[in-house]
Structure 1
Amino acid sequence: MATQLVSSGSSPSFSSLVVNPMPIYGSISIQGLSPNMNDRWFIKENLCQPDVMGGLPLHFFAVYDGHGSYHVSSLCEDLMHTFVAEELMHIQNVSRGGNDGSGVNTSSLAQCTHQQGWEDLIQRALKNSFERMDQAALGNCSCDRASNICRCRSFVYNISGSTANVAILSLHHIMIANCGISRAVLCRGGKAFPLSQDHKVILF
């Protein structure tokens, strides 16, 4: 999993009351010659409003390119945004002080948020989200049952996988996290700028 942050040049305002409106967007899915549509996408307006981003709403966009079947991409469609929201809000809860459940006192995290950089906190939350999604894909099927008790054809599930390209929009930033070969691209002034790096298998 890799993360990339694109800035408008302004730092997040931790006291701003400006609302982050949902941008105008469009989407399209093309099945092509495949017998099944294995790809999924998901958009969630106002995913969450973590303190680390000034309490402003964050908007969630994701593309999941299923490989082998739609099992894992469907699971990503169902769960990834939930994991991301939980991890981002966990930063918020921890930053308010106390214990994060691991026995470590985190009361100083709020003061360290600005010093350490909010980017590191966001990247940590996204990394945790992708790791949780990976574990869910290994242990569950898209029918929402554990893979060892579901009735889906096991050989289909065993060869199934998915890329994941997640974009989170704040008032001043675009945060990208990706796994696999799905690519995020920013178009500006008629030019395309890649926002993510493809992950490709290296054979030794």
Structure 2
Amino acid sequence: MVCSSYLKTVILQAGKHIQKVSRGLVKFASLRSPKTISALRFSSDRIFPSIRKMMVDTNASANRGITNNSSSQKADDGGYASGGWKSEDGKLSCGYSSFRGKRASMEDFYDVKTCKINGQTVCLFGIFDGHGGSRAAEYLKENLFKNLMNHPEFLANTKLAISETYQQTDSDFLESGKDTFRDDGSTASTAVLVGNHLYVANVGDSRTVISKAGKAIPLSEDHKPNRSDERKRIENAGGVVMWAGTWRVGGVLAMSRAFGNRMLKQFVVAEPEIQEQVLDEEFELLVLASDGLWDVVPNEDAVSLALLEEEPEAAARKLIETAFSRGSADNITCIVVRLYHDLETKPQPETQAPSETDMELQSQPEPQTEPQMETEAETITEAETHTEPEAEPEPEPEPVGRAAPETQTEAVTKSGPTDGDGKQLG
């Protein structure tokens, strides 16, 4: 009897569990219907909005790209940011634009800074394109220019300061991440303007191009493993360059120089190549960009498109849009710098309020005829002066007849034209 009652209890409990399992299967089947799935999505959006926001990459890195010189900054959930800045003396303005593009995350950073060192105005512009993560690019954005401006030889020997700062910053970055398992890296393409001297330094495959009289001139050469000099340097260090979809160092990295990349540091150095230019009135603008632009936009196109826009911020946005429309699948970041040399040679009177003297000259048009009369008098006097040696008149009666012309000559000399228009300023 005990056994039979025990069996009944087991059978009843098993039946209850079977019913629970069957109900669960029915519910699971109902969850697969489209209506249920859409309802669950709607509920999750309302209950967990922060989680949903985290799942969509809002490109916080683009917001970190705001610099101390940005006059405007816009960012949206698509990973887009742009802004602009103008120098106090009006000789330079720049615009920058950054777009996540088709990538799931943003690894590009940019930096724009100005400062005065010993009374000398210095402008710095930089593009940093990360790979394997954004940590290296962000580190450069926060530290590279700061370290450079603190270098003791920055003004005395700018090229040496740039070279040493690049390599020291790379060492500092590797030291900061020695206890982590990350091995990300970054390019750097920077332009430093000290007075009218421009220093462009490059590590990696970002690029800087300058426009001179409408012609595009690259001021950096991409560090690709298949460059003959780079390949020789890598192989001499014991490395290998092989094809893996593109030429790569050790079959891994598609550039031959970079910050970071600890595992390849013996072959992938952070020593920059530096070019110096003395700017004159023929230099119009400067374009710095990550390879997301240069992969699909040639140097000449970039310069011609940037010259079409009056404002550099609009030019930077135009270049970003062009690269994306041409199929760029990478992050795209660009800085456009415009140079205004005419401000150095002419004072631009339109920027100053008219003085009382200017108002008087505008309200009195009569004196405009005086310079013509003075010019004629001056011409006559010069003609008479040249004919005197040929005529050789008698010296005694001459002062009486010549008194009036001599007085006119003195008047012309004292009140002669002092500007290009022949207007009497005295």
TM-score category of the 2 structures, normalised to the smaller one: 0.5 to 0.7
Amino acid at match of 1:190: G
In the alignment, structure 1 residue 182 sits paired with structure 2 residue 184:
no
Amino acid at match of 1:85: M
- Specify the SS of the correspondent of 1:184: strand
Shift of 1:21: 5.8
Shift of 1:188: 3.0
Shift of 1:182: 0.8
Q: Considering Cα pairs closer than 8 Å and 6+ residues apart, tell me whether 1 or 2 has the greater RCO.
A: 1
**1:49 corresponds to:** 117
**Residue in structure 2 matching 1:81, options 119, 123, 145:** 145
In the alignment, structure 1 residue 132 sits paired with structure 2 residue 132:
no
Q: Structure 1 residues 174 and 127 mapped into 2: Cα distance closer, same or farther (>3 Å)?
A: same
- Specify the SS of the correspondent of 1:29: strand
**2:130 corresponds to:** 66
Specify which structure has the higher proportion of helix.
2
Structure 2 unpaired stretches of 5+: 1-87, 226-230, 232-240, 243-426
Shift of 1:38: 0.1
Structure 1 unpaired stretches of 5+: 1-18, 96-117, 142-146
Q: Structure 1 residues 26 and 131 mapped into 2: Cα distance closer, same or farther (>3 Å)?
A: same
Shift of 1:138: 0.8
Query: 1:83-132, CA deviations, whole angstroms, 9 ceiling, x for partnerless residues?
Result: 11011xx127xx9xxxxxxxxxxxxxxxxxxxxxx5xx211100111011
Distance (whole Å) between structure 2 residues aligned to residue 84 and residue 21 of structure 1: 25
**2:217 corresponds to:** 193
Amino acid at match of 2:147: F
Shift of 1:80: 0.2
Given the two structures, how large is their TM-score scaled by the length of structure 2? 0.31
Amino acid at match of 1:28: S
Distance (whole Å) between structure 2 residues aligned to residue 192 and residue 49 of structure 1: 31
Alignment RMSD: 2.3
Q: Which protein is bigger by CA-based radius of gyration?
A: 2
Q: Structure 1 residues 36 and 22 mapped into 2: Cα distance closer, same or farther (>3 Å)?
A: farther
Decide whether the 8 Å contact of 1:62 with 1:164 is kept in 2.
yes
Decide whether the 8 Å contact of 1:20 with 1:171 is kept in 2.
no
Report % sequence identity: 26
Amino acid at match of 2:114: E
